[in-house]
Amino acid sequence: MKRFLLLLILIFATWSLSAQSVGLVLSGGGAKGIAHIGVIRVLEENNIPIDYISGTSIGAIVGGLYAAGYTPDEMEELFRSDDFYFWSTGRIQEEYRYYFNQPEQDPSWIELRVEKQEDKLKLLPPTSIIPEKQMDFAFMELLASTNAACKNNFDSLMIPFFCIATDVYNNKPVVLRKGDLGEAIRASMTVPLYFKPIKINDTLLFDGGIVNNFPHDFMQKFHEPDIIIGHKVADDSKAPESDNVVAQIANMVMRPTNYKIPEEKGMLMETKFENVGLLDFQKFELINQMGTETAEQFIDSIKQRIERRVSPTELKRKRQEFNLQKPDLYFQNIQVEGVEDPMQRKFIIQSIKHRYNVVSLSSLKKEYFKLIADDHLRSIRPIAHYNRATGYFDLHLKVVPEKKFRVNIGGNISTKPINQGFASIDYRTYQGRAYTLSSNIYFGRFYSSFKVGGRIDFPTSLPFYLSGYSTLNRWDFFSSSSEPFFEDVRPPYIIQNDYNFRTEAGIPLGLHSKLYGNVIFANSDDEYYQTEKFRKEDEPDKTKFTAFVSRLGIENNSLNYKQFATEGEFNCISLNYITGKETHEPGTTSSTSISKEQNHRYFLGKASSLKYWDIGSKFTVGTQAEAVFSNKNHFQNYRSTLLAAPGYYPTPNSKTMFIENFHANNYLAGGLKLLWHFTSSLHLRVEGHGFVPLKEEQKNDDLTAFNNSKIFNRYYLQGMAAMVYHTGLGPISLSFNYYEKPNTKFYLSLNFGYTIFNKRGI
């Protein structure tokens, strides 16, 4: 009898051990959470079962992907991929940058929205540093099929899963165990200031780490596993320094989290990091390796506590069975929420479906990024619901229209006398078609400008736009100074005033290109001295050119930044017909005292190209080329001829200078750019450029112009070496520039912002 009872006890004990259930809990911690993948890999390789999984923030991402059937290899591939880089930074991949809807470039840093509240206009700051549009689509793309497989019940995933978000209003944890898995993870990892919060069931949700960064308590409450394995990558809260505002805010917002797991309930692994920031995902290899090493240090203790094993064959079969339940992503019915205008709602739906009944994921993605390029739409959050009756997904688009008023602030801050401020205001409305009224102002010693106008976009089967802008520009070119950090106090030796009224019509040519036509009235008024040496009492020459311009052009643009780009390309070709009258009034440095007038009619063709190629992960090569050909006659003197001639400005610093050697009515120019990337935001670039006039304009003794009889007789060089850091507002650059010209050749400058101007008339 005793032997029989002993046998029963042994059988029961063996059954109890074999039935051990294991819950895995993953903490938040930003990029450091990549280490969770290494931990999961070690557990799998040692056949340790994972019966339940939960996480917060990055722990929710890794845990949710694993529960959805992704292997550690697949998760590693995802985190290493270019796609992850783009959706974690909010930047748009080159193949999805829709050029047609982009407004004219300006030097803005930050966008403020204007809203009427209680009969008062209020400026609303940006709600996030990182745009959410890329991320919202990514979560739908990654997990919509998983939602169909588990029928929106996270307990029916390959591994039961839940994650934690924070109710912003009530400041309490929200446990997400059902619904849309992508939205749940998106809510759990929405770090304040970095990402925009989302609403689920009318509750505004932020990062779960604010209230519970390690939900082992909820794991015990919901699943009661026999053993809890926890992995912590978050730093313990520390007293912030007096000048660290971000750390101070984080300490005020985030509650302390209890990471301790009672010994009888399980064990806690911790991976500690130094010099790994919240978004340092580029340090993937280091972080993942450290997570692996942590798990390997604990694996013997884990094996002693957990005797149950899951074979690789059994795990593979379980994953395959779950993944086979995932339907392919094809979309049929489309609903739009948040748009009042039925025409705009119809336009959004037709933009995605066109004439097709069913839309593939690749087609949807292309059209989605076209839509988010529309300035009239602030955001579009796609949610896919599987329709079991049709076998396709129904697409629900939560659209947030843009505020009617928008204010942009920007400019350039420099150690050279080219500082400028910038402000613009736009008014947008949609009434069957999209209307944008805009105005901007530049103010500074070197450059000032004012522009007002608008654009109408027609949402026809072939979209097109009509626009008109009135612009007043003024450039004051100061005499060159050899001092690198001090402004030159001498008066300007060239002042260019430009007024133009431009009308334009355009249609898209594919994703990156557009065909456009212009009719322009232009009036340029230049004041200049005809010699380099002049006195304050000297009177400048004045040349006025009033003209009408007809232009037809094609532009292609997929660059990732509007200044100091590192990928993509820009190509343009245009043909211009210009007719106008030149009026010259001589000054005291002129060789004549007689005012003259002259009519000009000429054609001008221009083509330019800029393209970047990646050479490995750290290096990029860029090539730039430009050509101008015209049958334009000379103006009344040499300097006015070059002032009215096209110029080659390949670098930001060159745009702030007038250098005669780089102006000609006919020329070829080009250059080579070498970029060395230290991080995704910091790079060193070295550029060298050459300029070759076809028949160089030269100066007669009487200060008039003539063309050299020899073709390509001379060439001129310029170059730049710059360290560039792209911030969320604009680039910071320390540049050293060289120009082949008389007098000063080298220039050193430190800049923050953009050297971008309103368009000239000619």
Do 346 and 433 have their domain in common?
A: no
Domain stop point among 340, 375, 401: 401
Do 210 and 142 have their domain in common?
A: yes
pTM over 0.85: no
The DSSP string of 219-232 is HHHHH--SEEEEEE
Answer yes or no: 57 catalytic. yes
SS3 348: helix
The DSSP string of 667-681 is EEEEEEEEEEESSSS
Phi, psi of 290, rounded to the nearest 5 degrees: -65, -35
Instruction: Classify residue 110: in a domain, yes or no.
Output: no
Residue among 27, 54, 57, 749 flagged as catalytic: 57
Q: How confident is the model at residue 527 (pLDDT cuts 50, 70, 90)?
A: very high
Residue 83 belongs to a domain with what CATH number? 3.40.1090.10
SS3 521: strand
Q: Are strands 161-167 and 52-56 parallel, antiparallel or unpaired?
A: parallel
Q: Which distant-in-sequence residues (6+ apart) come within 8 Å of 692 by Cβ?
A: 667, 668, 669, 712, 714, 715, 716
Size (the chain), residues: 762
Q: Which two tokens stand for residue 163?
A: 């994650």
SS3 563: coil
The DSSP string of 259-308 is ----TTTEEEEE---SS--TT-GGGHHHHHHHHHHHHHHHHHHHHHH---
Give the CA angle between residues 711, 717, 723 to the nearest 5°: 155
Say what the pLDDT of residue 198 is: 87
Q: Looking at residues 39-61, what average pLDDT do you find?
A: 95
Residue recorded with tokens 């290494």 = 38
Domain stop point among 401, 426, 452: 401
Q: How confident is the model at residue 487 (pLDDT cuts 50, 70, 90)?
A: very low
Dump pLDDT digits (tens) for 714-733: 999 999 999 999 998 899 99
To 10 degrees, the CA torsion angle through 348, 352, 358, 359?
Answer: -150
Q: For the chain, give the percent of residues with pLDDT over 90.
A: 64
Q: Looking at residues 373-391, what average pLDDT do you find?
A: 89
Say what the pLDDT of residue 483 is: 39
Dump pLDDT digits (tens) for 223-234: 999 999 999 998
Residue recorded with tokens 């959004």 = 348
Do 393 and 273 have their domain in common?
A: no
Q: Looking at residues 11-20, what average pLDDT do you find?
A: 50
Dump pLDDT digits (tens) for 414-453: 998 899 999 999 998 887 788 999 999 999 989 999 999 9
Residue among 207, 426, 526, 541 flagged as catalytic: 207
Do 498 and 562 have their domain in common?
A: yes
Do 278 and 358 have their domain in common?
A: no
Write down the number of H helices and E strands in the chain: 14, 32
Do 383 and 437 have their domain in common?
A: no
Do 229 and 191 have their domain in common?
A: yes
Cα separation, 118 vs 222, in Å, equals 45
Domain stop point among 338, 367, 401: 401
Answer yes or no: 640 catalytic. no
Residue 582: name the closest of 599, 594, 603 by CA.
Answer: 599
Within 13 Å and on the Cβ side, how many CA atoms surround 313?
Answer: 0
Within 13 Å and on the Cβ side, how many CA atoms surround 196?
Answer: 19
Give the CA angle between residues 32, 34, 38 to the nearest 5°: 120
Residue recorded with tokens 């129904």 = 394
Say what the pLDDT of residue 403 is: 81
Instruction: Classify residue 3: in a domain, yes or no.
Output: no
Q: Looking at residues 178-196, what average pLDDT do you find?
A: 89
- Mean pLDDT is lowest, of 18-22, 322-326, 619-623, 635-639, for 18-22
Do 422 and 368 have their domain in common?
A: no
Q: How confident is the model at residue 127 (pLDDT cuts 50, 70, 90)?
A: low
Do 397 and 418 have their domain in common?
A: no
Domain of residue 650 covers 405-753
Paired with 673 in beta bridges are 622, 687
The DSSP string of 17-57 is HHT--EEEEE---GGGGGHHHHHHHHHHHTT----EEEEET
* Number of domains within the chain: 3
Contact 288, 76 (CB under 8 A): yes
Do 317 and 340 have their domain in common?
A: no
Say what the pLDDT of residue 92 is: 82
Cα separation, 174 vs 182, in Å, equals 16
Residue 361 belongs to a domain with what CATH number? 3.10.20.310
Q: How confident is the model at residue 481 (pLDDT cuts 50, 70, 90)?
A: very low
> Amino acid letter at 613?
W
